[in-house]
A = this chain, B = another copy of it.
Amino acid sequence: MSKQELPVIPSLTSGTGGTACCTPLACAPLGQAEAEELATLFKAIADPVRLRLLSLIACHEGGEACVCDLTDAFDLTAPTISHHLKVLRKAGLIDCERRGTWVYYWINPGTLERLSAILGPRVVATV
């Protein structure tokens, strides 16, 4: 990420071994409200089945996957997979549409990119 994209806090660039910050996590302390919202999103992905579901959907040709393909990939019941998909959808990480018999899922890139940016390269040494 370019340093031009985000502001540099003067206090972080002064002194020996000064640093410049690049993302919100390091640019200003997170407030309580934003921390609670982000924690809810991270909780939604903090599960092995849900991480694998996200990856399966993202990897699928055309960027969307039928629920039938997703269920086949796990040794879990269809209701269990449905529960995990619902958690991901409620968090805004995926979206879906029914077409005939099946429901198709795709990634909502904006939500994942927001979480990625929060954790991304944050502190750049300027010594």
Cβ contact within 8 Å between A42 and B46: yes
A66 within 8 A of B: no
Most buried by B among A12, A36, A59: A59
Query: Is A80 at the interface (CB under 8 A from chain B)?
Result: no
Residue from A32, A36, A63 with most neighbouring chain B CB atoms (10 Å): A63
- How many A residues, CB 8 Å from partner? 53
Q: Choose one: B17, B47, B121; the contact of A116 (CB below 8 Å).
A: B121
* Given A30-B51, A36-B48, A54-B25, CB of A61 within 8 Å of CB of B123: no
A–B pairs, 17, beta carbons within 8 Å: A12-B59, A12-B63, A25-B54, A29-B52, A29-B55, A30-B51, A32-B52, A35-B52, A38-B48, A39-B48, A42-B46, A43-B43, A58-B123, A109-B121, A109-B123, A112-B122, A116-B120
